[in-house]
Amino acid sequence: MRAMRVAAQAPIERAPLRAETLEPPEPGPDEILVRVHVCGVCRTDLHLVEGDLPPRRLPIVPGHQVVGRVAAAGRRATRFSVGDRVGIAWLHRSCGECRFCRTGRENLCVRPEFTGYTVDGGYAEYAVAPEDFAYAIPPVFSDADAAPLLCAGIIGYRALRLSGVTGPGRLGIYGFGSSAHVTLQVARARGTAVYVCTREPARQEFARELGATWAGDLGEKTPEPVDGAIVFAPAGNVVPLALRNLERGGTLALAGIYMSPIPALDYSLVFEERIMRSVTANTREDGAELLAEAARIPIRPVVTPFALTEANRALESLKRGEAAGTAVLVVE
């Protein structure tokens, strides 16, 4: 099978992903083999390729926003039939035995596996996943539209819940990439006023087109304090800026898997019972809930297609902030 694989972490400008021909993976007893149609390109992939994240396994095929059809199944895998359309997300498998898994917090599992990080992912013609960790894709979505929902959507959905803004109210969003543009649509459908802070004027205009109440620069003061906020930008210096716009008693959710150092905080920024918390991975329940709500709305992700062999260029485009929405690798 064709695949894009990274053997050594390096700046994306040096094109560390290489086109290779590999043997298709074999599904285990509880796994399905998926013929990949598309795979969304995520900032986590960029952090992995460039070395912001420590390598867990090299060489590795990245990619964890996978949409395709079941090509084969292990002997104990009966949930899906051959030909069913499915999605594979970041959480590849949890142990099911630790105290976090036993209490509904499998995103905090002590022995997790991650698609495209600890096991090969979707920058390839085939990928495998445990059937219990795969998702049925609602028919309202095309393959390309579904791909961003499988990480950008799920993580944004979890971050939105942890921000505490669940309906009418005011939500702040910092950084406006793939996850933010999906999260804004979910929040607006719930009747939430969304205030977006991002550097690029084009991203500010994009946010307004999607229904943002207000959009401005990262350092600007929002027209009124927000009840909860999400930082999607992987820049620690954004945190104090976000806290300045947070209403007393509000929660700031940090949605990235990686962030540069957060500068020292003046106590006044967290006084009046403001809360700051990180978002770590997701549970399968998060994924199922997001897909169901996204289908009801329905969410309309903005996608920019690239060929599989253009994975380096797609990641470089993401790094430069050139494409609105989500870059998607088209494998077929």
pLDDT of residue 203: 94
Strand order in the sheet with 246-254: 214-216, 193-197, 170-174, 226-231, 246-254, 275-278
Rounded-to-integer distance, Cα 96 and Cα 265, Å: 38
Classified as helix, coil or strand, 156 is helix
pLDDT of residue 205: 96
* Ranges in the chain, pLDDT < 50: none
Residues 166 and 302 grouped into a single domain: no
Residues 143 and 287 grouped into a single domain: yes
pLDDT in tens, 137-172: 999 999 999 999 999 999 999 999 999 998 999 999
Residues 308 and 243 grouped into a single domain: no
Q: What angle do CA 36, 40, 45 make, to 5 degrees?
A: 110
- Alpha carbon 23 to its chain centroid, in Å, reads 28
Helix 284-296 vs helix 178-189: crossing angle, to nearest 10: 60
Bridge partners of 42, per DSSP, are none
Residues 255 and 190 grouped into a single domain: yes
- Asked which of 278, 298, 313 is the last residue of a domain, the reply is 278
Total domain count for the chain? Answer: 2
In the block, tokens 């006023």 appear at 193
Residues 19 and 133 grouped into a single domain: yes
Residues 247 and 286 grouped into a single domain: no
CATH of the domain at 143: 3.90.180.10
pLDDT of residue 276: 97
Asked, as a colleague might, if the bond just before 59 is cis with ω within 30 of 0, I would say yes
Residues 7 and 137 grouped into a single domain: yes
- Asked which of 240, 261, 278 is the last residue of a domain, the reply is 278
Cα–Cα nearest to 109, from 92, 126, 122, 85:
92
Residues 121 and 92 grouped into a single domain: yes
Residues 49 and 124 grouped into a single domain: yes
pLDDT of residue 323: 76
- Alpha carbon 74 to its chain centroid, in Å, reads 28
Q: Do 91 and 133 contact (CB within 8 A), yes or no?
A: yes
pLDDT in tens, 236-264: 999 999 999 999 999 999 999 999 999 99
Q: 296 phi and psi, to 5 degrees?
A: -70, -35
Would strands 85-88 and 134-136 be described as parallel, antiparallel, or unpaired?
A: antiparallel
Residues in CB range of 103: below 8 A, 6 or more apart? none
- Alpha carbon 147 to its chain centroid, in Å, reads 10
Query: pTM score, two decimals?
Result: 0.94
CATH of the domain at 203: 3.40.50.720
Residues 236 and 302 grouped into a single domain: no
Residues 137 and 200 grouped into a single domain: no
pLDDT of residue 28: 97
Rounded-to-integer distance, Cα 167 and Cα 21, Å: 48
* Tokens (6 digits) for 171: 């939500």
Domain that holds residue 142: 2-149+282-330
Cα–Cα nearest to 68, from 91, 39, 45, 93:
39
* Tokens (6 digits) for 261: 């150092």
Residues 231 and 270 grouped into a single domain: yes
pLDDT of residue 321: 86
Exposure on the CB side of residue 53, measured as CA atoms within 13 A: 20
- Asked which of 238, 262, 278 is the last residue of a domain, the reply is 278
